[in-house]
Amino acid sequence: MGSKICMNENCKATTSPEWKRGWGLKSGGFATLCFNCGSSYENLVFCETFHLEEDGWRKCKLCGKRIHCGCIASKDLYDYMDSGGVGCKTCAKGVENCSIRPIEIPIDDVPNGFGTLTTLANLPSSNVDNTRNCNSFDMEQFTRLSNTMEANQPSLFPQCQKGDANASNGLVKHEEKILPAKEVGIGFPNLTQQSVGSSIFANLSNSRPTLGLKDMYESPAQPSLNFTLRTSLGTPNPMPPFPGGVVEGLEQNKVPTFQQGQRTRHISPKPLKTGLNISSEANKRMVSQTRIARPPAEGRGRNQLLPRYWPRITDQELQQLSGDLNSTIVPLFEKVLSASDAGRIGRLVLPKACAEAYFPPISQSEGVPVRIQDIKGKDWTFQFRFWPNNNSRMYVLEGVTPCIQNMQLQAGDTVTFSRIDPGSKLVMGFRKATNVEMQDAQTSSLPNGGHYGEAPFSGVNEDLPNNGGRTSEDLLERPMPILGKKRTRNIGSKSKRLHMHSEDAMELRVTWEESQELLRPHPSAKPTIVMIEDHEFEEFDEPPVFGKRTIFRARASGEQEQWAQCDDCSKWRRLPVDVLLPPKWTCSANIWDSHRCSCSAPDEISPMEVESFFRAGKDSKKRRTTGNKVAQEYEPSGLDALATAAVLGDNVGDQAPKRKGQAQSTCICNVCKTVKRRFKTLMLRKKKRQSEREAEVAQGKDQNHPKDESETDVASGLALLHMNHSENERSPSGVQMEVAETSKGQLDLNSHPNRDEDMLAEPAGLSMTSLVHSPSHQLEMYLQRNGLGNFVSRLVSTAGGESEGRPPDDVRRAAVASEQQDKVDEG
């Protein structure tokens, strides 16, 4: 029971004494030899409790004793564990009172004869703090990959007392965390962060204070050793996923950080500082929310597989991938897509270690085609190849663009590579990197606040009921908020590199502009009424929230109308133009039309018409984001144009047919009103600032001030300007909209009118806030300089009859051209 079997199928040595620990490796692992056949392999599992000294000895971090890993004679100082690793005897004495016994699966019970050290138990969650997870890794994988495979278990924790019933083989020298049978059967490499922590330290519970999960989670350098030795049921001695694979072992010497891009330098656990009893409740909570990084199941490459590539796929996701319980999904690795990966080049850079571990070995740069199945079951063929890079290689998957596009992946999203057994078929899943904030909010209640902001794995409902009630597994799997204070993942493994291209920024800009339609005042916001030039404006201190998107259009008669889509039936309902809808809105809330206050009521607008709305918007958006801006039309929704018209009309009174204070625009949508309102507020503040500046000028301090930067980029902010409204217009709400847009189309959505640093730091080329900075007459001057007087006149005069509230094309072009001219001026 619990013996280790030599992976050399010609050997079949089965008992612990037949294994001896070898020498300490540079990497901190061990080499292990089979006494029987001499098979050796590198145990890639790090010694977690021993620090490798320069002289080759290891020093127990807990008691300070030094051992030499390859020195059998020093056994009086340490003890080998059947499951692998070395335990300091001194420390082990402290854990003799293990209260929880693991349920072991005798290796004899395993069909293929390869033992599993997986221990099964249904420990109550309250015992989690006293349990430790077996270091386990996928035996199956090892059996497949080499005759010289490592079944070595890296339990380098101080082990339980030698007098233990299983002391002879050391198998149960420590309590092992229960792994659900399901996982054993399915064969997931089951390393969980939580288990890691507990496995490392729980055995110290009697000798020193127990490290709480919380502490562990907050300690990024906590070791993560929780492997499951298991077998591949029904697939004895399977072949490696690709020919030629030689398992050098799996390096477990890295601590999963559970945060992409967060690298840890040390594998060894940090010395325990405090003892905290694990709160099972807290544990549960953490468990339920977090995906954990799984150490790769195997790897023939000796290269370290950085934790950042450890798959954080959940079992549910795995199950979804596999489709049925008859398949075993072996998570291999994952990668956050870089801009290059997700770009049009179609090359996905593979981490070298992953490529060498899980992809077929290639000697020619041309590589080989690799078939990978996506989560939908669709097969993709990529060219797996490499480039010489210095003295190394750089592995890439070529031809991934169709797949990336099919999955609608972008930079920052994560692709996961797994393998389905039997069959050794590669599958790739993905996780979108969206909803970070949402997830953050959802998980912010975690005791330590740790969580990732990740969207659920593709197509996987995280809330799926657990098969077989994987409570303990959950405990193991989920709570890995080691992230602790790092709340968000970097987009990309190297944060430095993910730049937003100007095109992307443009896309974002458009998106933002469109998002104006969604802005609503914060529910708790109380407006402050500000009077500006006889206008009454609402000012909000709270940032806006998003409401439901609606469509504004103008009838032939010039009458504006607003349309919204029911969230239930998707039918479009006409609404009053001044209505602001909540994010969720259904027909039942249509209090303005008694005939269409139910989803059963027919559509008032044909689908064709609706489609035409969006098509027009899309076309225009494309034009805006691809190329010649001069030739581009203006804002598809007409919002910006109308807003522009409003502002122009408001500030270029002489040139607008209607003077300020009068209703110049027929668009009285709340967005326009809100924008205008905000603009006016900002203008007011600007005036105040200008007054202060003038005072400075009077003191001769401002003589060298260059032209106000905002003066040069008014036009670029046209799209963000605001429409005028009649003095009678008064929206029931308002929003704050602070927008800083760089000259390259980048946005700073965080700027705040009250924060001078934001405004002052704003690069030239921006619009709204910079415009606000300038005196109102600067806008006027600018408009005149750019010949926008006619623009204003035309726009205002035609806005009423313009279809869908859009200005005529020439007007839009004039605005864009003006913007271009402005850029030229800046240049």
Partner DNA sequence: ACCGTGCATGAGCGC
Partner DNA sequence: CGCTCATGCACGGTT
Q: Residue 257 gets which letter from DSSP?
A: -
Give the strand pairing for 740-741 and 572-575.
unpaired
- Our CB check for DNA shows the closer of 498 and 647 to be 498
Q: Which stretch binds DNA (CB under 7 A): 439-447, 487-495, 506-514, 776-784?
A: 487-495
Nearer Cβ to DNA (414/733): 414
**For residues 738 and 715, what is the distance between their CA atoms, to the nearest angstrom?**
17
Interaction mask 26-55, DNA, x per CB under 7 A: xx----------------------------
CA distance 532 to 278: 59
Interface with DNA includes 595 (CB under 7 A)?
no
Q: CA-to-CA distance for 620 and 706, rounded, in angstroms?
A: 36
Contacts for 44 with CB less than 8 Å, ≥ 6 apart: 27, 29, 150, 154, 248, 249, 250, 251, 252, 253, 299, 302
Residue 370 pairs in a beta bridge with 382
Q: Which is nearer to DNA, 163 or 388 (CB)?
A: 388
Using the rule CB under 7 A, which residue among 273, 376, 497, 707 binds DNA? 497
When computed from its CA atoms, the radius of gyration of the chain, rounded to whole angstroms, is 32
The pair of three-digit structure tokens given for residue 396, joined into one six-digit string = 């890439």
Residue 267 or 272: the one with the smaller Cβ distance to DNA is 267
Nearer to DNA, 492 or 653 (CB): 492
For residues 318-377, which are near DNA according to CB under 7 A?
Answer: 335, 338-341, 344-347, 349, 351-354, 365-366
SS (H, E, C) 550-598: EEEEECCCCCEEEEEECCCCCCEEEECCCCCCCCCCCHHHCCCCHHHCC
Class of residue 719 by CB neighbours under 10 A (exposed 0-12, middle 13-18, buried 19+): buried
- Strands 425-431 and 368-374 turn out to be parallel
| Contact between residue 156 and residue 10 where contact means Cβ atoms under 8 Å apart | no
Which of these ranges, 174-182, 448-456, 493-501, 561-569, lies near DNA under the rule CB under 7 A? Answer: 493-501
Interacting residues with DNA between 228 and 287 (CB under 7 A) = 253-254, 261, 263-267
User: Going residue by residue from 132 to 171, which x/- string records binding to DNA, judged by CB under 7 A?
Assistant: ----------------------------------------
Q: Does 389 bind DNA (CB under 7 A)?
A: yes
Interface with DNA includes 626 (CB under 7 A)? no
Tokens for 422, please give them: 């039997």
Q: Is 387 in the site for DNA (CB under 7 A)?
A: yes
Burial of 758 (C-beta count, 10 Å sphere; 0-12/13-18/19+): middle
780 makes contact with DNA (CB under 7 A):
no
Q: List the interface residues with DNA, window 400-459 (CB under 7 A).
A: 411
Stretch that binds DNA, among 204-212, 222-230, 494-502, 709-717 (CB under 7 A): 494-502
Q: Judged by CB under 7 A, which of 116, 235, 493, 565 binds DNA?
A: 493
The DSSP secondary structure of 158-169, one letter per residue, reads: PPPPTTSTTTTT
* 738 CB neighbour count, 10 Å cutoff: 21
Q: How far apart are CA 7 and CA 9, in angstroms?
A: 6
**20/263 with CB nearer DNA:** 263
Q: Is 388 in the site for DNA (CB under 7 A)?
A: yes
Smallest distance, DNA to C-beta of residue 94, A: 29
Stretch that binds DNA, among 383-391, 474-482, 513-521, 720-728 (CB under 7 A): 383-391
Interaction between residue 494 and DNA (CB under 7 A): yes
**730 lines the binding site for DNA (CB under 7 A):** no
Residue 623 touches DNA, criterion: CB under 7 A: no
Residue closer to DNA by CB (options 426, 737) is 426
Instruction: State whether residue 470 is helix, strand or coil.
Output: coil
Contact residues for DNA (CB under 7 A)? 26-27, 253-254, 261, 263-267, 303-304, 306, 309, 335, 338-341, 344-347, 349, 351-354, 365-366, 385, 387-392, 394-395, 398, 411, 492-499
